[in-house]
Structure 1
Amino acid sequence: MANTHRFEQLDYIAQDNPLAAISQDEEIEHQVDMLMQHPQMGRSGRLRSTRELVISRTPFIVVYRIKGKRIEVIRLLHSSQQWPV
């Protein structure tokens, strides 16, 4: 589901600026990869047991949970979206 949101968001951006979409996708991927080593780097989430990572240089926020040694990405939000709904 999170990947579906990611592709929808980036496809929308790519309609006007394909290079920006590629750049933002790379930044999202890079920062989510960093979560593997530093799972607490995001802020406390608005939903119980979640955390939120603001992706720098993009309008996106990754909502995730820490499950043992795993990171479960729940959703990719545009900062203008209401969360939770």
Structure 2
Amino acid sequence: MMLRLVWRPKARRDLLDIAAFIRQRNPLAAQRLSALIRDAAERLPEHPYVHRPGRVPGTREAVVHPNYILIYRVLADTVEVITVLHARQNYP
């Protein structure tokens, strides 16, 4: 059974904020990074356990770019993207 992908509102805002920040200096890089993160998230339902266990119990962390990490959790029928972080951000 294929899992469903769900983005929490915070994760969507994080992605938009990251892209907006990068777009100020390099619009093409912002577009590429946004696509890279979305594509990585779209692959999560196929192989949800391929990425490392997260620092917060019950989560997993996908390093989708040297500077960006997708935090997600696997539920019964869903992969839920919780947040997108810059690698230097304090987390949790």
TM-score (norm 2): 0.86
Q: Distance in 1 between matches of 2:83 and 2:72?
A: 7
Aligned residue identity for 2:22: I
Q: Distance in 1 between matches of 2:84 and 2:32?
A: 16
The corresponding residue for 1:34 is: 43
Q: Which of structure 1's runs of 4+ aligned residues deviate more than 6 A?
A: none
Q: Which runs of 5+ in 1 are unaligned?
A: none
| 1:66 counterpart = 2:56 | no
How much does 1:50 deviate? 0.4
Q: Which has the higher contact order (CA 8 A, sep 6+)?
A: 2
Q: Percent same amino acid at aligned positions?
A: 35
CA RMSD of aligned residues (A): 0.9
How much does 1:9 deviate? 1.0
Q: Distance in 1 between matches of 2:28 and 2:39?
A: 17
The corresponding residue for 1:55 is: 64
Q: Which runs of 5+ in 2 are unaligned?
A: 1-9
Question: Aligned residues, how many?
Answer: 83
Aligned residue identity for 1:78: H
